[in-house]
Amino acid sequence: MMIVINIIVFILVLGLVILIHELGHFIMAKRANILCHEFSLGMGPILWSKRINETLYCIRAIPIGGYVMMAGEEIEDDVVKEGQIVRLVFDDFNNIEKIIIDHENEKYEQYEKVTIYNVDLKGENNDPLQLNDYTVKRNAFYVFKKTELQIAPVERNFNSKTKMERFLAMFAGPFMNFVLAFFIFILVNLIVGFPDMENTVVGAIDADYPAAETLIEGDKIISIDGANVYSWEDISIALDENPTDRLVELKVLRDGVEYDYSVTPIIFFYNVGFHSKEGAINDLALGEVNPETKAGNAGFLEDDVILTIDTVIMNTWSDIATSLNNNVDGDLMVFEVLRGTETIIISIVPYNHDLVISQGLKVVDSFVGISPIYEFNFFRSFSASFLDIKVSAGMIFTTLDLLFSNDQVGVGDLAGPVGIYSITSRALSAGFVSFLTWTALLSVNLGVINLLPIPALDGGRLVFLGYEAITTKKPNRRIENTLHYAMYIMLLGLFVYITFNDILRLFNIR
């Protein structure tokens, strides 16, 4: 049942961020009086469609995007030419309301068949549309074998609009993704609030961390390891000073009475993906190992006891931290571990330090599981949402930079629809706030990626528009469309490759 719920939520989330994106294009195109032939969510075969006035609204089978088909943006200007045979459908005033391109189709044989010898379906300067000696309605339709498209006279054509109108029609898609993320981040900030960093009162305690055994919410931390603390920043500095400290002495004030407690932090080694077992002081035993981490893939298991690293005996957690901190470039490391009564040799290639730091992590860090009081702040929720978008966009650019600058990150590490489904499922299981945050991040991701100056994406189209603005010359449409189409095919191939890797990861094959 949970799988079904996850699939439904995944479709809704992905559908929402795509819908908002395409709605931005659609609204600004309509505002500029650009004819929109189709508004489609997804790619591939049509699952559902409905024509409303001039636009065909579709839901397609493959959830990898969507599009708004604007007149003149993709299809050729001249659909019919002199010498071509078509059939014509007239209204009550003998004006053409349909031009049937598929003239050999038997279901249209009752309509007049003509050979075109004179045609003007652009109607520049508001001139009437003509086909032979007939007047063509400005909202007439072409009838193809499987679809119908409304004729686009010059005033309804994308390329006839001003540069600003075309810019807004293209930019509005990514912009709407940022707008969606902005309002989601506002909601998150209103729900979560903001940390009060000016005092040392414990606001929340993670039940899975060591502090849950001793501290309670509302405790005021007075000192750590004998040093007085006056703000939450002081607490962070004191706990970060020595991440391998196995006994942290806390003095807290509870109901007017001072208490002394000792807490053993959990140490996380992010470049390999394992952490110390809760309560492990002298025993170098590992806690639960996530199979999707470097450590999990290498074969580490919970309760493994580390004996040596690269033949050097490990006596303390500090020895392990030193060894991993010294492996800056992510070179191969050989661990000797005790598993029950058996000694196991495990080889692992850690993440290099640049990659760990780029994700906002430390190579070695420790946690006791406490956080400050969070307070509601209505107005700050709005201003903070802009920062949240900036941080989210920065994460995306960091990832793109790593693709080209870090040999431990490749295209195969990117997430496609299957990967997004997995992340969405995990975010949903982590709670409503986590789910909302992921949705906002996904929306920012779609906005940023579409603004990249790559043909077939909105950013690529904006580059051609910029060329026109600078040179005052329109780019060759045939060249532009060829570049867009070629890059679209390449992106489709990339999508298949990424999806294949997603599936391998999903079944722990890779």
The helix (run of H) or strand (run of E) holding residue 195 is strand 194-195
Looking at residues 154-167, what average pLDDT do you find?
A: 93
**Residues 211, 369 contacting (CB under 8 angstroms):** yes
pLDDT at 202: 95
Give the pLDDT score at 508: 56
CA 385 to chain centre: 17
Q: pLDDT tier at 262 (50, 70, 90 boundaries)?
A: very high
For 324-333, the CB contacts below 8 A with 24+ separation are 324/269, 324/271, 324/272, 324/350, 324/363, 324/364, 325/363, 325/364, 327/271, 328/352, 328/353, 329/353, 330/271, 330/355, 330/408, 333/272, 333/309
User: Is residue 349 pLDDT above 60, yes or no?
Assistant: yes
- Whether the CB-CB separation of 414 and 498 falls below 8 Å is answered with yes
Query: Which pair of tokens denotes residue 44?
Result: 């591939």
Q: Three-state DSSP class for 342?
A: strand
Q: Name residues whose C-beta falls within 8 Å of residue 325's C-beta, 6 or more positions apart in sequence.
A: 363, 364
Q: In terms of pLDDT, which residue wins out, 230 or 456?
A: 230
- Whole-number average pLDDT of the chain: 90
The whole-number pLDDT of residue 346 equals 97
Distance CA 137, CA 466 (A): 35
C-alpha dist (Å) from residue 407 to 64, 336, 355, 490? 27, 27, 10, 22
Helix (H, G, I), strand (E, B) or coil at 369: coil
Angle (CA) 20 26 29, round 5°: 145
Predicted local distance difference test score (pLDDT) of residue 456: 87
Q: Which of 307-316, 338-347, 487-496 has the lowest mean pLDDT?
A: 487-496
* Pick from 87, 89, 92: nearest CA to 105: 87
Q: What is the pLDDT of residues 76-100, one digit of tens each?
A: 557 889 999 999 999 999 999 999 9
What's the confidence (pLDDT) of residue 491? 77
Longest dimension (CA), the chain: 99
Tokens 């559902």 label which residue? 48
Task: Give the mean pLDDT of 387-403.
Answer: 86
Cα 427 from chain centre: 13
Q: Does residue 74 have a pLDDT over 70?
A: no
pLDDT value at position 114?
94
The string of DSSP codes covering 450-480 is HTSS-TTSHHHHHHHHHHHHHHSSPPPHHHH
Query: Which residues are bridge partners to 199 per DSSP?
Result: none
The rounded distance, in Å, linking the Cα atoms of 166 and 465 is 8
Q: What is the pLDDT of residue 35?
A: 94
Contacts of residues 252-257 at CB distance under 8 Å and 24 or more positions apart, as own/partner, are 252/202, 252/215, 252/219, 252/220, 252/221, 252/222, 253/219, 253/220, 253/222, 254/216, 254/218, 254/219, 254/220
The one-letter code for the residue type at 414 is L
Q: Taking the CA of residue 487 as centre, how many other CA atoms within 13 Å lie in the half-sphere pointing to its CB?
A: 16
Segment among 45-49, 142-146, 491-495 with least mean pLDDT: 491-495
Interval 471-487 mean pLDDT: 86
pLDDT given for residue 501 in this prediction = 67
| Catalytic center residues | 22
Checking if the pLDDT of 51 tops 70, the result is yes
Return the pLDDT at 504. Answer: 59
Domains of the chain with CATH codes = 85-156 (no CATH), 194-263+370-374 (2.30.42.10), 271-358 (2.30.42.10), 379-506 (no CATH)
Q: Is the pLDDT reported for residue 510 higher than 60?
A: no
Tens of pLDDT, residue by residue over 168-180, are: 999 999 999 999 9
Both tokens assigned to 130: 């003509």
244-265 average pLDDT score:
94
What are the φ and ψ backbone dihedral angles of 108, each rounded to 5 degrees? -110, 10
Q: Which residue has the tokens 């040999």?
A: 407
Using an 8 Å Cβ cutoff, are 243 and 364 in contact?
yes
CB 144 within 8 A of CB 108: no
Q: What value does the mean pLDDT take over residues 326-334?
A: 95
